[in-house]
């Protein structure tokens, strides 16, 4: 779980930290942004402090978009947590900006931005399909640490090719493809991923089962 922590001083003074780029992994769920909102006044309460998500990426899904703290006593602070998931197909080596607006009952406000950088995988990998066994569709996921020529093929148990799911150049990242087995009979099948700059690059094979 990735946790991003930012401290904001609220009431009379707002301290904004230098902009930071946070690395997040596509497909990762249960990430957290934690904002500590501090009332630096020695005498006044901070009331109805509202933290609202103003801008988010289509690749980021927040569980909650608004949180409210009714009262923060003088010289005290409150911790507010926002939980979010990153879509697996988020484009790696690209950046997105997430904006929050923090306001209180007196109209004091400040906007805080987070810059997310989607990090690529560190290695080639072919995942086990899910669900498995399946009828009629299943999902096959794989990852590419670099731009690659990708071939993903399905064979029957005798080694005969039954279909090609992917045969193209793809950018680095976390990939997935659906396989529809409605045209095929029940039984064990094999799917094979070949990826890399040449034909002798990464090769991985796994089994899956159609049950009708």
* 190 and 141 both lie in a single domain: yes
pLDDT single digits (tens) 74-105:
888 888 889 999 999 999 989 999 999 988 88
Rounded Cα–Cα distance for residues 170 and 168 (Å): 6
Rounded Cα–Cα distance for residues 164 and 26 (Å): 26
Tens of pLDDT along the chain (212 residues) come to 344 433 444 332 333 344 578 889 999 999 888 888 888 788 888 888 899 999 889 999 999 999 999 988 888 888 888 999 999 999 998 999 999 998 888 777 888 888 899 999 999 999 999 999 999 999 999 999 999 999 999 999 999 999 999 999 999 999 999 999 999 999 999 999 999 876 568 999 999 999 99
| Half-sphere exposure in the Cβ direction for 141 (13 Å, CA) | 12
* 136 and 188 both lie in a single domain: yes
* Residue 39 CA: distances (Å) to CA of 5, 10, 86, 129, 159: 17, 5, 32, 51, 68
The 10 Å CB-count burial string (b at 16+, else e) for 166-190 is beeeeebbbbeeebebeebeeeebb
Q: Which of 65, 93, 118 is at the close of a domain?
A: 118
Question: What is the structure's pLDDT at 19?
Answer: 55
Rounded Cα–Cα distance for residues 121 and 179 (Å): 23
Total count of domains within the chain = 2
Q: Which of 118, 140, 156 is at the close of a domain?
A: 118
Query: In this structure, what token pair is assigned to residue 209?
Result: 């089962």
* 34 and 89 both lie in a single domain: yes
Rounded Cα–Cα distance for residues 113 and 22 (Å): 11
pLDDT single digits (tens) 130-143:
999 999 999 999 99
* 20 and 102 both lie in a single domain: yes
Query: In this structure, what token pair is assigned to residue 36?
Result: 């500590």
Q: Which domain holds residue 77?
A: 3-118
* 50 and 83 both lie in a single domain: yes
Neighbouring CB atoms inside 10 A of 149's CB total 15
Pair 80, 69: CB distance under 8 Å = yes
* 11 and 113 both lie in a single domain: yes
Query: In this structure, what token pair is assigned to residue 124?
Result: 């080639």
* 7 and 79 both lie in a single domain: yes
Segment 143-148 long-range contacts (CB within 8 Å, at least 24 positions apart) = 143/173, 143/174, 143/175, 144/120, 144/170, 144/171, 144/172, 144/173, 144/175, 144/195, 145/120, 145/121, 145/172, 146/120, 146/172, 146/197, 147/171, 147/172, 148/124, 148/172, 148/195, 148/196, 148/197, 148/201
* 49 and 144 both lie in a single domain: no
């Amino acid at each position: 779980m990735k946790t991003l922590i930012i401290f904001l001083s609220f009431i009379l003074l707002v301290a904004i930290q230098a902009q930071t780029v946070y690395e997040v992994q596509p497909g990762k769920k249960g990430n957290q942004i934690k904002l500590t909102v501090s009332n630096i006044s020695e005498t006044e309460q901070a009331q109805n402090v509202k933290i609202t998500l103003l801008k988010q990426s289509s690749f980021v899904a927040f569980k909650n978009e608004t949180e409210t703290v009714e009262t923060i006593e003088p010289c005290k602070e409150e911790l507010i947590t926002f939980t979010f998931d990153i879509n697996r197909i988020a484009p790696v080596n690209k950046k997105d900006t997430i904006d929050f607006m923090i306001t209180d009952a007196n109209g004091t406000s400040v906007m805080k931005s987070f810059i997310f950088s989607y990090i690529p995988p560190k290695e080639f990998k072919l995942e086990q399909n899910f669900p498995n066994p399946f009828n009629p569709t299943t999902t096959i996921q794989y990852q590419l640490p670099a731009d690659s020529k990708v071939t993903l093929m399905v064979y029957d148990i005798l080694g005969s090719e039954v279909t090609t799911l992917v045969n193209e150049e793809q950018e680095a990242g976390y990939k997935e493809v659906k396989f529809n087995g409605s045209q095929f009979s029940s039984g064990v099948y094999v799917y094979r991923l070949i990826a890399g700059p040449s034909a002798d690059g990464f090769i991985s094979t796994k089994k899956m089962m159609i049950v009708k």
